[in-house]
Amino acid sequence: MKLIFERGSEGQGCAVLPACDVPPVTLPKQRTKELRLPQLSECGLSRHYTELAKEVHGVNDGFYPLGSCTMKYNPKVNEAAASLWGFTKIHPLQPEHTVQGCLEVCRQTEQLLCEITGMEAMTLQPAAGAHGEFTGLLLMKAYHDSRGDKKRTKIIVPDSAHGTNPASAVMAGFTVVSIPSRDDGCVDLEKLRAAAGEDTAGLMLTNPNTVGLFDKNILEITSIVHEAGGLNYYDGANLNAVMGIARPGDMGFDVVHLNLHKTFSTPHGGGGPGSGPVGCKAFLAPFLPGRRPAGREKLHWETSSHSIGSVKAFYGNFLVVVRALSYLLTLGREGIPEAAQNAVLNANYMMTKLQDLYPMAYPGICMHEFVMSLEKMKHETGVSAMDIAKSLLDYGIHPPTMYFPLIVEEALMVEPTETESRETLDEAIAVFREIWQKAKTDPASLHEAPVRTGIGRPDEVGAARHPILRYEF
Ligand SMILES: *Cc1c(COP(=O)(O)O)cnc(C)c1O
């Protein structure tokens, strides 16, 4: 398709601005060359973005089983709530008495999320999961520092962890101690015991973990870390499997982040905006960042006594919080656990219907997602996890997560989510099975896939390492 710079022509435009009613100011001339902005009519601009949107696969286009990302359908009522003028046409510096409704949204969301996670205080400021991790780690650091315990410099992270975990720990100034997982994908207690000690600041763990399994030793894991004087951080990206059923607070975790854009239903995948609230136990609350709603009848903003500062401007991505609250209130006390149960049911249904052809990386019942390994297939036919993923695109299915977690060779991680019907799952199962047949009979065709999309196989490494971010006229 044409780039925006190649559309339109000199003199076209769509600005309908009122006449200027303030005195003009002449700025010192900085620019040596004239700025060459595209000139398009409103119609041309609208078509440009519609064309772009058509090139993209979203939840509204079809099945999107991208493991660990929880690409569930986002109910439109959330959008309706988030587009109310009282939420969109406000200013963060407006006097508190004029935005009581917004404070109430934050207060209720914090309360409900604390209840779901078993935490006692929460900040809505972080903009994403990774940002929440960083924030949570700073809380842990502030806690150890406040007790004069300066030797706790290490964060233990299992090798199955999402890449953001070790990255956040390093950004927060810690050293990462990676511990290998057992063959069943769970934490190796002996390795954990050996790693935990006087220099342990804490452990970061995802549960259910990144291979889709609930660690049955979770209480022992968290107590090993506590006994060593460390804190437990819960990566809540997989909360969709257990929300309303099991609480990180009861599992022995002290800090948790949630990905509102995953579990609590905000469209994501295009780079944001997201929201990664961080909840904690009461003893960490004095360190929370930003301003939080306080008061009873009349609400006001309050800063924690030993706050680590701000991690984002004002109140975070507020409209994502509005969507999350709308989602929480529409599903309610019965609907939230039911969504989790259906997410787990859908994953197990798909896994069971595929496991005679596709070897699963771990045996037994899964939680909300499962990981298959195409190692044997690649060895026998030359067809890789990448080939399978690419060929799904020709059937209108978004590929599963590929080559993650790193501990599984030729991994494909499938997360169907609770919002898919049995019919959709059956169609997807049939497609997976058809592709498997093709891999056996005509492997060469799979190396060519996809053939029905606008773009075939871009050079992904090249695109990441040498991105072209500027249009050359
Ligand atoms: C998505 C994810 C993250 C990071 O969350 P973002 O919102 O993308 O920053 C961290 N851990 C796990 C397990 C995830 O799936």
Give distance in angstroms: CA of 129 to centre of ligand 1: 5
d(CA 417, CA 183): 26
Backbone dihedral angles phi then psi of residue 79, each to the nearest 5 degrees: -65, -40
Give distance in angstroms: CA of 258 to centre of ligand 1: 9
Determine the atom of ligand 1 nearest the C-alpha atom of 133: 10
Q: Which helix (H) or strand (E) holds 256?
A: strand 255-257
d(CA 197, CA 187): 17
Q: Can you give 37-102 as a three-state secondary structure string?
A: CCCCCHHHHHHHHHHHHHCCCCCCCCCCCECCCCCCCCCHHHHHHHCCHHHHCCCCCCCHHHCHHH
Give distance in angstroms: CA of 378 to centre of ligand 1: 28
Q: Which helix (H) or strand (E) holds 372?
A: strand 370-373
Note whether 256 and 248 are within 8 A (CB): yes
pLDDT in tens, the chain (473 residues): 899 999 989 999 877 888 989 999 988 888 888 888 899 999 999 999 999 988 888 999 999 999 999 999 999 999 999 999 999 999 999 999 999 999 999 999 999 999 999 999 999 999 999 999 999 999 999 999 999 999 999 999 999 999 999 999 999 999 999 999 998 889 999 999 999 999 999 999 999 998 999 999 999 999 999 999 999 999 999 999 999 999 999 999 999 999 999 999 998 977 779 999 999 999 999 999 999 999 988 999 999 999 999 999 999 999 999 999 999 999 999 999 999 999 999 999 999 999 999 999 999 999 999 999 999 999 999 999 999 999 999 999 999 999 998 899 999 999 999 999 999 999 999 999 999 999 999 999 999 999 999 889 999 899 999 999 888 88
| Token pair listed for 410 | 């030729």
Determine the atom of ligand 1 nearest the C-alpha atom of 128: 7
Determine the atom of ligand 1 nearest the C-alpha atom of 276: 7
Q: Where are the alpha helices (DSSP H) in 235-317?
A: 248-251, 260-263
Pocket of ligand 1 (CB under 6 A): 68, 128-130, 162, 164, 206, 210, 235, 237, 259, 274, 276
Q: Which of 131, 133, 135, 259 to mutate to test the pocket of ligand 1 (most atoms within 8 A of CB)?
A: 259
Give distance in angstroms: CA of 82 to centre of ligand 1: 23
Residue with CA nearest ligand 1 atom 2: 237
Provide the 3-class DSSP secondary structure of residue 146: helix
C-alpha closest to that of 309 among 295, 293, 291, 294: 291
> Which residues, in sequence order, are bridge partners of residue 398?
none
Q: What is the CA radius of gyration of the chain?
A: 25
* CB half-sphere exposure, 304, CA atoms < 13 A: 20
Determine the atom of ligand 1 nearest the C-alpha atom of 68: 15
Give distance in angstroms: CA of 208 to centre of ligand 1: 13
Q: Which of 164, 215, 260 to mutate to test the pocket of ligand 1 (most atoms within 8 A of CB)?
A: 164
For the chain, the straight-line distance linking the first and the last C-alpha, in angstroms and rounded, comes to 17
Backbone dihedral angles phi then psi of residue 255, each to the nearest 5 degrees: -135, 145
The angle subtended at Cα 177 by Cα 175 and Cα 182, nearest 5°, is 160
Determine the atom of ligand 1 nearest the C-alpha atom of 259: 7
The angle subtended at Cα 297 by Cα 293 and Cα 298, nearest 5°, is 55
Q: Which amino acid is at 167?
A: A
* CB half-sphere exposure, 151, CA atoms < 13 A: 6
Give distance in angstroms: CA of 27 to centre of ligand 1: 43
The angle subtended at Cα 315 by Cα 312 and Cα 320, nearest 5°, is 100
